[in-house]
Structure 1
């Protein structure tokens, strides 16, 4: 067995086609395809330069073909940069070498020009010295005549022209050299930054897949792994048109960020709400025992003893291989761009178009869907807290898209209104969006009137009457509005405290009849699940409505009532 020849096949992970990217809230799952021509016997497929963002034990391999997968292992080893450079890093490294070569050539040119200038200056110095101090050796003669002067004139002219030309060339080369130094430094910094973003220095991670094939065959391997430093979150643009026929359009986006050291170019993208980081253990209940309270015994003085402290427990990270998160998605109606699949514990959005999400810290927006609904515009106010009147658009999510909790930009008649948040909204569920304060609607919260009286001869009781006047004015002369006033009505927590709402005549809250798919607010008064009054009235343009809220609290005389607001 030891003498068996093992066929090796090497792939760069970045050269393998990405079949799918599934993005979670805190990670991503990548599926790449490797096509390999296997030989008969044992084969090893080496997938080189896996990202350092790889989650431990997340790597798994599925295959198609006449072969059997025996083992999948991860390996880290020292490596030279030629083995692990990404195309971006390799390109920057090549640019740096070119810049350094250019700078070296300019330095050599400048050195040659400097030496020529030095030699010329030395020559003119020697000639000048020979004229002033002619040689005195025997047999030598020096005559400063017309011929000598003519030769000197030509030499000085040659020196002047040549020296000026050399110094001009030196200055030009110096300027080019300074620019080359700047470009070289920039290329060096760009390379260092790319190296820091692309991999761990000096190490290469790879996957080794061992297969057994009975004969030569072509096989396809799905290499699936998870990476951290990737996430997505929902985002919305909400546009409301308050024309003759109100319209509300929600553009539903997914904002994706990834710093996984990989570039996702034109990949099938899936956004999922699954959270693989959360455990699924049901909490355990102990036995709740009831006994009479007894004061604890007084503490007994103990001699001071120093003991070693032991800390129990350990932090063990459980690692699990993740199963594929996506299957074929059903067709859906025209309001959505992404295909939607509802799993037992999550929702998945299959983005309709191929997406490119480059490595880096910035967000990239993809469209999940566009939902068009006809809203009802309702004014709401909580005058005990704030006398401002807020315009709210209420509508039903008539799409197959589940809206997730996320930030939203609200536009009213093409004008930006505010930033807000959308809560989780299931398909078919009613939701509302605040459009800001309507200054044309005025609310006056009058001081409350309170009355107190005692009744009964033997069991005396106290009765407190609370009367609150709220005045609402519609300053618009032609447009009637529907306005909902929300106000406290106390809820009793003791059978001895009896509370009765005298005005208005409100429909009590019925938990069995409560339905998230109910119609939008209608005229009338009702109590909600928190026992708060919601009183909806239609107010014509230019009119004032005085609303009186009145309730009675009855309790034993000797008791004192306190009111606490809980959320």
Structure 2
């Protein structure tokens, strides 16, 4: 019978440094935070192992941390805490050596300056009593030689002193400002029971704030192309200051936003009662204060298992591990290749995808206010990508036109993109023609007839299919004044023209029809072609529009005619 020695009672201790002993293998970046997956590979001994991992980010959200792994072992528990403050050094061997060298250099410079001063004083003290004229040339020669040597040494020592000061300043900065280390003070302790000695893999998955990404776009429109005229370049602006740099990591961008503690709201009782004044006596209310929970310095948790190595390796298990899931997300974008995003808080831009999209071009003008024509593209997101709200730079035929905003757009949804002014569509808003007539024998009525002519000239070499021209007729604010739309003869009730006085109103037809007034010109109440059209309110604002197809190099004309009737002795304001 063979016996095996039981594993030692004291656990084996394994010390790991987060950055040095692991690699980030995945980053899922949301709009306000990031989820980091960091992989550790190390060997365990048979029995209990206590794995200590230092250097995790201070901003790590402990509630989000989970541990997954592979190997012939079982994870017992995880403890997360902040490392105790370590002594920040104020000196170093290099700094001490630099200070000594500087002191010697400064002393040598002082001696050199004193020697120059003494040389000057000596030469100044010589007189004819001490020096014969025949020896003057030799003394001056020695003065010049010695002074030149001392001057050169002074320059050399001054430059050396300046260099030493720079090195000392840099060394002190490295000592007194512990760059990233000060942001990596979180630590984790993991209990691992191994059935046998051998290598294992542990993945730490945790969320950190101070990491964001926002969408922005380049929209390029080719007016000479009818099929997929829009190229939309989907981009991401990423920045992070989490405390650790992301070096050569696969980056995944998430369009969903994680929520915490968000549930279906509950309605409180809504009671009605009879108001009764309170008595004059002072009202007192009792307040109860709940003691806040003690701060959690250490957090113990359990997690699920994740495959991070080859299939033949057994998956580490937790005791009574609870299964969790990330849940459904709106869309996930994986940035191609590996990216490097330092912990600097600066914006780093990446291209997600370039899409060729269909678009329906339309032109809109309100010539009563401004005869200029505005170009708009209704772009259909025919891709599988969800577009997030973001700014867009719009280019038409290679020229920058404007800055716009792309709204949140799901696949197969459409959105409007203004493309600026189109000067090749010229609209003339002719002076209005007015006539007045009077009728009635006893109660005379004055009728004012108005005619507004509009001309559209398309100077393009191609036809335009949808030009919307918007105009209006006046609205009566008095029962004595009646306004009637004559042409185009749009109706809201029954047959004939629309009487839009304020005293009586005909019943509204369920679905008003557009009216063809000429070849390629259709008139309708403004808003009738909008998806969210309110049929009850249609026409009440007295606005209408014409939808026009204008041939290349062609002109079209149409008119707006209306009548205003009122008693002859009534002065109508606003005509």
TM-score (norm. length: structure 2): 0.68
Say whether 1:218 aligns with 2:199: yes
Alpha-carbon distance between aligned partners in 1 of 2:262 and 2:131, rounded to the nearest angstrom: 111
- Change in 2 beyond 3 A, CA 1:123/1:180: closer
- Change in 2 beyond 3 A, CA 1:320/1:3: closer
Q: Which moved more, 1:20-29 or 1:42-51?
A: 42-51
Say whether 1:9 aligns with 2:23: no
Give the equivalent residue in structure 2 for 1:366. 350
1:218 Cα offset (Å) = 1.2
Alpha-carbon distance between aligned partners in 1 of 2:56 and 2:303, rounded to the nearest angstrom: 20
Conserved? CA contact 1:267–1:354, under 8 Å? yes
Give the equivalent residue in structure 2 for 1:137. none
- Change in 2 beyond 3 A, CA 1:395/1:308: closer
Aligned-partner SS, 1:169: helix
- The partner residue of 2:38 within 11, 32, 38 is 32
Give the equivalent residue in structure 2 for 1:518. none
Alpha-carbon distance between aligned partners in 1 of 2:300 and 2:11, rounded to the nearest angstrom: 30
1:39 Cα offset (Å) = 0.3
Q: Which moved more, 1:156-165 or 1:411-420?
A: 156-165
Give the equivalent residue in structure 1 for 2:216. 235
Aligned-partner SS, 1:215: coil
Say whether 1:539 aligns with 2:542: no
Aligned-partner SS, 2:267: coil
Alpha-carbon distance between aligned partners in 2 of 1:33 and 1:402, rounded to the nearest angstrom: 31
1:183 Cα offset (Å) = 5.8
- The partner residue of 1:399 within 372, 383, 399 is 383
Alpha-carbon distance between aligned partners in 1 of 2:36 and 2:383, rounded to the nearest angstrom: 29
Give the equivalent residue in structure 1 for 2:497. none
Unaligned runs of 5+ in 2: 1-5, 309-325, 437-447, 476-491, 494-501, 539-543, 565-575
- Change in 2 beyond 3 A, CA 1:260/1:384: farther
Give the equivalent residue in structure 2 for 1:20. 26
Question: Could you report, residue by residue, the CA deviation over 1:218-264 in whole angstroms, capped at 9, with x for unpaired residues?
Answer: 11101111111001111111111112546210111111110111111
Question: Could you report, residue by residue, the CA deviation over 1:445-490 in whole angstroms, capped at 9, with x for unpaired residues?
Answer: 98899x9xxxxxxxxxxxxx99995835235164432213467899
Alpha-carbon distance between aligned partners in 1 of 2:81 and 2:394, rounded to the nearest angstrom: 50
Alpha-carbon distance between aligned partners in 2 of 1:63 and 1:37, rounded to the nearest angstrom: 13
Aligned-partner SS, 2:150: helix
Say whether 1:428 aligns with 2:412: yes
Q: Which moved more, 1:26-35 or 1:386-395?
A: 386-395
After TM superposition, list the pairs within 5 Å mapping 1:160-559 onto structure 2.
160-182=144-166, 184-185=168-169, 188=172, 195=178, 199-200=182-183, 204-245=185-226, 247-286=229-268, 302=280, 305=282, 310=287, 344-381=328-365, 388-442=372-426, 444=429, 471=454, 473-476=456-459, 478-481=461-464, 482-485=466-469, 498=506, 500=508, 505-506=513-514, 525=524, 526-528=528-530, 529-531=532-534, 535-540=546-551, 541-546=553-558, 548=560
Conserved? CA contact 1:100–1:184, under 8 Å? no
- Change in 2 beyond 3 A, CA 1:122/1:545: same
Aligned-partner SS, 1:174: helix
Say whether 1:64 aligns with 2:64: no
1:19 Cα offset (Å) = 0.9
Question: Could you report, residue by residue, the CA deviation over 1:487-542 in whole angstroms, capped at 9, with x for unpaired residues?
Answer: 789999x9x865658998339xxxxxxxxxxxxx9967544323366752212344
Aligned-partner SS, 2:104: helix
Tell me the matched-pair count: 482
Q: Which moved more, 1:496-505 or 1:372-381?
A: 496-505
Alpha-carbon distance between aligned partners in 2 of 1:506 and 1:535, rounded to the nearest angstrom: 10
TM-score (norm. length: structure 1): 0.69
1:431 Cα offset (Å) = 2.9
Q: Which moved more, 1:115-124 or 1:260-269?
A: 115-124
1:284 Cα offset (Å) = 2.5
- Change in 2 beyond 3 A, CA 1:244/1:221: closer
Conserved? CA contact 1:99–1:180, under 8 Å? no
1:355 Cα offset (Å) = 1.4
- Change in 2 beyond 3 A, CA 1:543/1:321: farther
RMSD across aligned positions (CA): 5.1
Unaligned runs of 5+ in 1: 84-92, 134-143, 329-341, 452-464, 508-520, 553-567
Aligned-partner SS, 2:353: strand
Is the helix fraction higher in 1 or 2?
A: 1
Alpha-carbon distance between aligned partners in 1 of 2:462 and 2:68, rounded to the nearest angstrom: 65
Give the equivalent residue in structure 2 for 1:458. none
Give the equivalent residue in structure 2 for 1:138. none
Alpha-carbon distance between aligned partners in 1 of 2:463 and 2:155, rounded to the nearest angstrom: 82
1:275 Cα offset (Å) = 1.6
1:114 Cα offset (Å) = 2.4
1:161 Cα offset (Å) = 2.0
Alpha-carbon distance between aligned partners in 1 of 2:29 and 2:561, rounded to the nearest angstrom: 52
Conserved? CA contact 1:504–1:548, under 8 Å? no
- Change in 2 beyond 3 A, CA 1:167/1:311: farther
Q: Which moved more, 1:422-431 or 1:362-371?
A: 422-431
Conserved? CA contact 1:102–1:180, under 8 Å? yes
- Change in 2 beyond 3 A, CA 1:467/1:313: farther
Aligned-partner SS, 2:39: strand
1:278 Cα offset (Å) = 4.8
1:159 Cα offset (Å) = 4.8
Q: Which moved more, 1:385-394 or 1:116-125?
A: 116-125
Alpha-carbon distance between aligned partners in 1 of 2:101 and 2:173, rounded to the nearest angstrom: 21
Alpha-carbon distance between aligned partners in 2 of 1:190 and 1:379, rounded to the nearest angstrom: 62
